[in-house]
């Protein structure tokens, strides 16, 4: 009788441990959030067109992957001459200039702006950029950035995902939001962080530093 009780208790303990492990796995992989405001990437040629010959961007704050928020800001102007001032320039300079806005910004500018991955600007919206020393016009280059998660290779292995995968992410707060079609981007220089724009963050009541979970 005593042996039977021990076996029964052992079985119940093992079942409880297995259940806890299953629940733990179903909880998913936790990721901190970084809310990305509107910003601009520029070529060196365009930096000089906007800020003067020989001008170099000056560093304000380090970001992941060798990027930085610069001290420089510009004004962006839509096709209907609607403008947004004090838009931060990010460095270092790129091979192609690009403006990233939210959907609300696009409405404010009076423009139809596609959702794209950063760098995918072919056929995107045109926009003008005005600096203290000049202005430029981009025939294409304005996008609403696709939400994504930056990861190191070690983070990707731990999460069971690969570069280019798409996942669903859950925010466990009073809004209970699920973000689908979140792209995974993996690089040795990346710090674990999910990037969403201000529209998405405000709608889901999420702030920079909040945690979300990869659930699928």
pLDDT of amino acid 120? 95
pLDDT of amino acid 22? 44
SS3 content of the chain, % helix, strand, coil (to 5): 25, 40, 35
Q: Quick one: three-class SS letters along 139-178?
A: EEEEEEECCEEEECHHHHHHHCCCCCCEEEEECCCCCCCE
Q: Is residue 156 reached through a cis peptide bond, with omega within 30 degrees of 0 on the bond before it?
A: no
The pLDDT tens digits for 79-136 are 888 999 999 999 999 999 999 999 999 999 999 999 999 999 999 999 999 999 999 9
pLDDT 10s per residue in the chain (216 long)?
455 566 676 666 666 555 554 444 446 899 999 999 999 999 999 999 999 999 999 999 999 888 999 999 999 999 888 999 999 999 999 999 999 999 999 999 999 999 999 999 999 999 999 999 999 999 999 999 999 999 999 999 999 999 999 999 999 999 999 999 999 999 999 999 999 999 999 999 999 999 999 998
Distance of CA 198 to the CA centre of its chain: 10
The CB density around residue 3, as the number of other CB atoms within 10 Å, is: 7
Nearest to 92 by CA among 62, 114, 117: 62
pLDDT of amino acid 16? 58
């Amino acid at each position: 009788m005593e042996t039977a009780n021990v076996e029964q208790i052992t079985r119940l303990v093992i079942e409880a441990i297995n259940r806890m492990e299953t629940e733990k796995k179903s909880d998913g992989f936790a990721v901190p959030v970084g809310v990305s405001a509107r910003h601009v990437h520029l070529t060196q040629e365009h930096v000089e067109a906007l800020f003067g010959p020989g001008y170099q961007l000056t560093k304000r704050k380090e970001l992941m992957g060798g990027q930085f928020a610069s001290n420089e800001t510009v004004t962006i102007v839509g096709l209907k001459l609607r403008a947004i001032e004090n838009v931060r320039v990010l460095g270092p300079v790129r091979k192609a200039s690009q403006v990233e806005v939210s959907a609300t910004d696009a409405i404010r500018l009076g423009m139809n702006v596609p959702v794209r991955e950063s760098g995918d600007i072919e056929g995107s919206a045109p926009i003008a950029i005005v600096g203290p020393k000049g202005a430029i016009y981009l025939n294409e280059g304005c996008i609403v950035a696709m939400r994504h998660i930056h990861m190191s290779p070690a983070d990707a292995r731990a999460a069971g995902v690969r570069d280019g995968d798409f996942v669903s992410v859950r925010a466990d707060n009073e809004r209970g939001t699920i973000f689908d079609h979140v792209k995974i981007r993996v690089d040795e220089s990346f710090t674990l962080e999910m990037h969403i724009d201000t529209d998405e963050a405000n709608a889901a009541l999420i702030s920079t530093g909040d945690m979300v979970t990869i659930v699928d």
